[in-house]
Amino acid sequence: MKLGEITNYLESIAPLNYQEDYDNSGLIVGDPNMEIRAALVALDCVEKIVDEAISTGCNLIITHHPIVFKGLKKLNGKNYVERVVLKAIKNNIALYAIHTNLDSIHTGVNARICERLGLTGTKVLSPKAGLLKKLVTYCPQAQAEQLRSALFYAGAGNIGNYSECSFNADGFGTFKGNEESDPFVGERGIRHREAEVRIEMVYPTQAERKILVALFENHPYEEVAYDIYKLENKHQLVGSGMVGWLEYDMDGYDFLHLVKDRMQARVVRHTEVMNKRIKKVAVCGGSGSFLLREAIAAGADAFITADFKYHEFFDAEEKLIIADIGHFETEQFTSNLLLEIIQKKFTNFAIRLTEQNTNPINYLF
């Protein structure tokens, strides 16, 4: 199988434009045209992961965390990042990372945490803006249905759980072609009036090229009139963190024990356990302190995440319980998620989970 087939599929699930500005998701090492024999999935790409790929015959490593976050100015093996990249290149192993773009989708990392905690009625905690645009075009009434169908097929008109969404208004357009024109209706040099439909559709920015191709290939006019608007609407299925509900409300300490057990956390750092029941819970895989205000605003009784600093615990102000269970612990089930995503599409592809524990943090009890 070509590497590009795998990466294109992953990016159809978690588009690269969903990642945060600081991130480096995507193909880090490798040629999209290279043949992939087998893939190894892990949370982190460190030297022992590359060694495992070599020993198991895998020439693709898919990880959540990118091995390269910042630009590399030299490749001389001075640090573990350079050594990993050098060893991968030397052994013709491709490296691919799917990080904050996988965090951002509503079926991604945070959804897996919610599943393990048994949360229902989940939704994205902090939806992203700037991911949607609107196409407006004008088409003769007789050809409007064909054009709508083509645009839907190309990816336009999806809003939340609904597809094939459009707004249509009847009107008329006028035009006069010059001597070089070849009008679909009317005659050169004569102003023509045509009954038309104004068609409006929302679409994700990453689908724009495909949608415009569909527009030009299926619109009957020689010159297609269309407008594109950038929307400030937030994409309700894409963003940071998630929030949902426990089946039953719980005592604070009982809830923390549930979290420790379900998330297989060795340590739970938490704020004061207040005299209130826990029912609504916010989560964020990895470093989630930036979402504390959103969790409080959402009315969460508890916020499960990692990497809170000492003074940030004070910011809870007894409005909820912060439970910091560790960065690795919040994301350790991401590898299983990736395995399931890939196996669902490529049922006969050789893919395996790492047998290595890449958590760099150890605990002394």
Q: Which amino acid is at 116?
A: R
Do residues 302 and 255 touch, judged by C-beta distance below 8 A? yes
d(CA 353, CA 41): 5
Residue 106 annotated in ligand binding:
no
Is 222 annotated among the ligand-binding residues?
no
- 82 belongs to an annotated ligand binding site: no
Measuring CA to CA, which residue among 271, 262, 242, 3 is closest to residue 122?
A: 242
Alpha carbon 237 to its chain's center: 9
Distance of CA 5 to the CA centre of its chain: 18
Pairing of strands 278-287, 302-306: parallel
Is 103 part of any known ligand binding site?
Answer: yes
* Cα angle: 349, vertex 357, 53; to 5 degrees: 40
- 140-144-148 Cα angle (round to 5): 150
Cβ contact 177:189 at 8 Å:
yes
Q: Which residues contact 270 (CB under 8 A, 6 or more apart)?
A: 256, 321, 322, 323, 324
What is the dihedral sign for C-alpha 31, 32, 35, 41? positive
Judge whether 270 is annotated as a binding position.
Answer: no
Please tell me the distance from the alpha carbon of residue 123 to that of residue 195, in angstroms, as a whole number: 43
318: helix, coil or strand?
A: coil
The annotated binding site is made up of 64-65, 103, 327, 331
The annotated binding site for a divalent metal cation is made up of 64-65, 103, 327, 331
